[in-house]
A and B are shown apart, each in its own frame.
Chain A
Amino acid sequence: MSADSQTTEDRPDEGAPPEDRWRRALREIVESSSMVVFMAIVASMIIGGVLIIFADEAVRESAAYFFSRPGDTFSAIGDALGSAYSSMFNGAVLNLEASSFAGVIKPLTQTLTMATPLIFAGLGLGIGFRAGLFNIGAQGQLLMGATFGAYIGFAFSLPAGLHLLLAVIGCAVGGALWGFIPGILKAKRGAHEVIVTIMLNYVALYLVAWLLSLDAFQREGSDNPISPFVAETAQYPKILGVQFNLHLGFLLALACAWGAWWLMERSTLGFRLRAVGANPSAARTAGMNIGTATIITMVIAGGLAGLAGSAPVLGTQKFLTDAVAGTLGFDAITVALLGRSRPLGIVLAAILFGGLQASGPSLQVNAGLPVDIVVVIQALIVLFIAAPPLVRAMFRLPAPAHEKEVAA
């Protein structure tokens, strides 16, 4: 409602003199969504700052004698915030303290590396959302993809290139298989995909834990639940040289983003999936098979989530454990929704998440913040970015002419 009234306030009256060019340019900047993202980060910095100050020992100590020497408290606050924000920037964007150029850009490459699996999985989830399926199962699909890919990677010895190709396909197939199960259960039995995918996450976890208790999946000479290394021939090559972790998977993820865009916007299959997602009964009346669309969607979504599993096992960590999925599958849900289920949005949201994740070590080690505060700040940033109306209200920015809703 408040947006409504702002819209009208903002509308140039008919017959009023045309808005002057500069004012219009300014207005466009202020209304733009990048402005909102920027202000969202500012807002979460401010609120997160309160927590940082609270967590900082020097501040607490100096606050104890605030009235005798307030300057100490303020300088302690300044130090705490300064070190937190600079650590964040140094950890996720550019390390201005590094001596070499490589050191300066390393955080950026780390951000992109961290974003890679999120792009893959986010794309899969985004396609599902647009086809009307709420897939909570990226976690399990990712794990199964990682398992298949890693197995191909360590159990076979094949020529370079071919080995990588097969391992990557293995990841996609593993994930697709784990997506197929809820797909077919929904199509044939009407089983709610949210339940089935949540449950399959756990099943995948224990299945992989069991596999890792078998000799075939363990390193020779060890009983630890860690797989052998994936052969070099099956690893993603590093694309910026060995000093950076950024690997070919990132480019593959971008290619998939383009592919997902093409699929959803330009292909007849994507058209069907969108129609089924938006109005199944109209889609059915127009001759589309809902069950088939459900299965195809889940297979594609699972395949992409499976590819997300290739990022750790073929790119960064290079072996399989049952914790290889981390929280990627759940983060990807937020990434997909934050990116409004559109490929470009998902890529950007994944890079934001990658950056937040990449800043974690620096925040802990350099700014001395506990990991929990890092989590809280990350949550706040996402929350504010997801709520443009709130950010506009906080900073008294005008609403754009067409308020876009945040919806899957």
Chain B
Amino acid sequence: MKLELRGITKRFGDFTANDRIDLVVEPGTVHALLGENGAGKSTLMNVLFGLYDADEGEVLLDDEPVVFDGPGDAMAAGIGMVHQHFMLVHPFTVAENVMLGHEDVRGPAKLLDVEAARAKVREISERFNFNVDPDAVIEDLPVGAQQRVEIIKALSRDASLLILDEPTAVLTPQETDELLGIVKDLRDAGTAVVLITHKLREVQAVADTITVIRRGKVVGTAEPTASQEELASLMVGRAVTMRVDKEPAKPGETMLEVDGLTVVDAAGIVQLDDVSFEVKAGEILAIAGVQGNGQTELTEALLGVVPTDAGNATLDGEVITGRTIKEVLHSGIGFVPEDRTEDGIVASMTIANNLILDVHDKAPYAKGGALQPKVIADEARKHVEQFDVRATGIDQTTGSLSGGNQQKVVLARELSRPLKLLIASNPTRGLDVGSIEFVHKRIVAERDSGAAVIIVSAELDEVVALADRIAVMYHGRIVGIVPPDTDRDTLGLMMAGAHDEEEAA
């Protein structure tokens, strides 16, 4: 199916998110849409999908103008979409989510044919090596698995135009490769694909055409042969370094010492099994592993979000396990959570307020139980500028920022107080290349100022680029700690559970 967008304009209040955008997607091609955070990519796709009404402009399918009253119309016309913010019903199972909207039913009461839905999920899941249990409930799944469910949902409908809005943000490298393979297969079968991603490697791998959007306008197109540096500078409007420049670490005293930490969950499953390691001041320990192998529990146990069943952790000689979250934070830990909308920001509060969420009762933001609005505003302006948060002002609600800018708010908050230890889960998820460059610089600077840093990342590139040492987790245990120059195959093997080089680095 051929898609054409003509002069699409979409405004939110006074803000123009899409400004007269023209776009043509030919059948049997992959069209990559690039742009920095908040450029208007998702908005454009939501207009196309019938979720938003365009203020101006028209959509043509196979050269016929169409008007979608809602996504139902778009789907009926053969458009499928993987949404950046998961459109999954949390208390439902995977199968229920996948069948929602086009359920197989039996009998006059239209009772659900759950077996058929399960079979469909299993079939797609097996075809693409997704390893998704059709009966798992969404809210129990890690975000990576949720992402796979979203993709299964879109694929289960045989669309002739498929929109993928950052489908790989939380996938493992292997899964990403599988998905890109699928995209190619679909393209070869004649499907038109729109791919939005911040990972230029993926663009180079599959895109046939590339359109770059900046601040709501189309600023140019690029050939798939263009280098990552070229694409990046087109997107961001300046030159971007794609590598992390950092001095070798100068590790100091041991800052964090974890000894035999064990976490058993309510169902009696051991999530963290006798984990011991240490991080020195001035070094970055990256934790690698396939998602769901205890990384989340490790960071949450250190913060005190989940109770520990055995073992302890000391920060700079002080025991931090068994303390309240507040005490842990105030002992000098910065925490960037894995799920930013759930745990990182309060969407309905302003940027300024989100920037003081965990320090709101500390000087200089508060004095004797009273907030200091002027200080808060001044600091907020400073942070917004420093971290390049794209917003109309510090009083904008955080929920109306684009996802990347929300992440910058979280980082700005956590990195702007003196830290002994920074724990960051997927700190650059969903960020554009320019922002990633910036965040990586900040993390390295944090290390160089003498803090210990723990990075949990699903992104092997990021792990290798940032880490001074890499700890690999598998089934709740640390299977090995290796130097950053360990080759990827070895890392891959360790992540798959092969024991190796115990305590090497």
Residues of A participating in the B interface, judged by any CB pair closer than 8 Å: 1, 4, 7-8, 11, 265-269, 271-272, 274-275, 278-279, 281-289, 401-402
Interface residues of B (CB under 8 A from A): 11, 13-14, 53, 55, 303, 305, 324-326, 328-330, 335, 337, 342-349, 353, 356-358, 360-361, 366, 369-371, 373
User: Is A287 touching B329 in the complex (CB atoms < 8 A)?
Assistant: yes
Contact A282 B342 (CB under 8 A): yes
In the complex, what residues of A have CB within 8 A of residue B13's CB?
Answer: 7, 401-402
Q: Report which of A1, A4, A11, A274 forms a contact with B349, defined as CB distance below 8 A.
A: A274
Report whether B303 and A271 are in contact in the complex, using a CB–CB cutoff of 8 Å.
no
Which residues does chain B contribute within 8 Å of A274, judged by CB atoms? Answer: 346, 349
- Could you say which residues of chain A place their CB within 8 Å of the CB of B326? 287-289
**Quick one: which of A272, A285, A288, A401 contacts B344, CB cutoff 8 A?**
A285
With contacts A269-B369, A402-B13 known, what are 17 further pairs, Cβ within 8 A?
A8-B55, A266-B373, A267-B369, A268-B360, A268-B369, A271-B360, A271-B361, A275-B357, A279-B348, A282-B346, A282-B357, A285-B303, A285-B343, A286-B329, A287-B325, A287-B330, A401-B13
In contact, B370 and A275 (Cβ under 8 angstroms): no
Taking CB atoms, residues of chain A closer than 8 Å to B330 are 287
Contact of B53 among A1, A268, A278, A286 (CB under 8 A): A1
Whether the Cβ atoms of A275 and B346 lie closer than 8 Å is yes
CB neighbours (8 Å) of A269 from chain B are 369
B366 and A279 contact, CB distance less than 8 A: no
A-side contacts of B370, CB under 8 Å: 266-268
Asked if residues B371 and A279 are in contact (CB atoms below 8 Å), the reply is no
Residues of B within 8 A of A8 (CB): 11, 55
CA distance A287 to B337 in the complex (A): 13
Q: A275-B346, A401-B14 are in contact. Are A285 and B325 (CB under 8 A)?
A: yes
CB neighbours of B357 from chain A (8 A) = 275, 282-283, 286
Report yes or no: B343 in contact with A282, Cβ–Cβ below 8 A.
Answer: yes
The 10 closest A-B pairs by CB, nearest first: A287-B326, A286-B358, A268-B361, A286-B357, A285-B343, A279-B346, A287-B329, A287-B325, A278-B348, A278-B346
Collect the chain B residues with CB atoms within 8 Å of residue A289's CB: 324, 326
B360 touching A272, Cβ below 8 Å: yes
* Whole-angstrom CA separation of A275 from B337 in the bound complex: 17
Query: Which A residues touch B325, using CB under 8 A?
Result: 284-287
B53 pairs with A4, CB closer than 8 A:
yes
Closest A residue by C-beta to B349: A278
Instruction: List, sorted by A's number, 25 A–B pairs whose CB atoms are closer than 8 Å.
Output: A1-B53, A7-B13, A8-B11, A8-B55, A266-B370, A267-B370, A267-B371, A275-B346, A279-B342, A279-B345, A279-B347, A281-B342, A281-B343, A282-B342, A282-B357, A283-B346, A284-B325, A284-B343, A285-B335, A285-B344, A286-B329, A286-B358, A287-B324, A287-B325, A288-B326
A8-B11, A268-B370, A271-B360 given; A284·B305 CB < 8 A: yes
Complex Cα distance, B332 from A287, in Å, reads: 13
In the bound complex, CA of A4 to CA of B55 (Å): 9
Considering only CB atoms, which chain A residue lies closest to B329 in the complex? A287
Q: How far is the CB of B388 from chain A (nearest CB, A)?
A: 22
A272 to B371, CA, bound (A): 11
Which residue of B335, B337, B371 has the most chain A CB atoms within 10 A of its CB atom? Answer: B371
> Separation in Å of the B376 CB from the closest CB of chain A?
10
Cα–Cα distance between A284 and B303 once the two chains are bound (Å): 11
Contacts A268-B371, A271-B360, A401-B14; is A285 near B348 (CB within 8 Å)? no
Cα(A288)–Cα(B337), bound, Å:
15
Residues of A within 8 A of B369 (CB): 267-269
Distance between Cα atoms of A7 and B13 in the complex (Å): 8
Q: Smallest CB-CB separation from A8: which chain B residue? A: B55
Chain A residues in 8 Å Cβ range of B324: 287, 289
Instruction: Compute how far the CA of A284 lies from the CA of B347 in the bound complex, rounded to whole angstroms.
Output: 14
Contacts of A268 in B (CB 8 A): 360-361, 366, 369-371
Residues in chain B near residue A265, CB distance under 8 A: 371
Q: Which of A265, A274, A281, A289 gathers the greatest number of chain B CB atoms within 10 Å?
A: A281
Q: How far, in Å, is B503 (CB) from chain A's closest CB?
A: 31
For A266, the chain B residues whose CB sits under 8 A away are 370-371, 373
CA distance A282 to B53 in the complex (A): 32
Cα–Cα distance between A285 and B334 once the two chains are bound (Å)? 11
A7, A275, A278, A282: most-surrounded residue (chain B CB, <10 A) = A282
Determine the chain B residues whose CB is within 8 A of the CB of A286 once the complex forms.
Answer: 325, 329, 357-358
Q: Across the interface, which residues of B come within 8 angstroms of A278, CB to CB?
A: 346-349
CA distance A401 to B328 in the complex (A): 45
- List the A side residues contacting B360 at CB < 8 Å: 268, 271-272
Which residues of chain B are within 8 angstroms of A272 by Cβ–Cβ distance?
Answer: 360-361
Most buried by A among B325, B344, B346: B346
Instruction: Find out whether the CB atom of A275 lies under 8 angstroms from the CB atom of B343.
Output: no
Contact residues in A for B14 (Cβ distance below 8 Å): 401
Across the interface, name the chain A residue whose C-beta is closest to B14: A401
Of B11, B337, B349, B356, the contact of A285 (CB 8 Å cutoff): B337
Chain B residue with minimal CB distance to A285? Answer: B343
Chain B residue, CB-CB nearest to A407: B348
B329 touches A271 (CB 8 A): no
CA distance A289 to B326 in the complex (A): 8
Please tell me if the beta carbons of B353 and A271 are within 8 angstroms of each other in the complex: yes
CB distance from A297 to the nearest CB of B (A): 16
Among B53, B324, B328, B360, find the residue whose CB has the most chain A CB atoms closer than 10 A.
Answer: B360
Chain B residues contacting A281 (CB-CB under 8 Å) are 342-343
B366 — nearest CB in chain A belongs to which residue? A268
Q: Give Cα distance in the complex from A8 to B348, angstroms.
A: 25
- Most B CB contacts (10 A, CB to CB) among A1, A11, A274, A279 go to A279
- Tell me the nearest residue of chain A to B52, going by C-beta: A4
Task: Report how far A274 CA is from B342 CA in the complex, Å.
Answer: 16
Q: Which residues of A contact B11 (CB under 8 A)?
A: 8, 11
- The docked-state distance in angstroms from the alpha carbon of A11 to that of B12 is 12
Task: Give Cα A272–Cα B303 distance, bound, in whole angstroms.
Answer: 19
CB atoms of A275 and B349 under 8 A apart? yes
Chain B nearest CB from A285 CB (Å) reads: 4
Measured between beta carbons, the chain A residues less than 8 angstroms from B335 are 285
User: Which of A7, A282, A288 contacts B345 (CB under 8 A)?
Assistant: A282
Q: How far is the CB of A47 from chain B (nearest CB, A)?
A: 32
CA distance A282 to B342 in the complex (A): 6
User: Nearest B residue to A402 by beta-carbon distance?
Assistant: B13
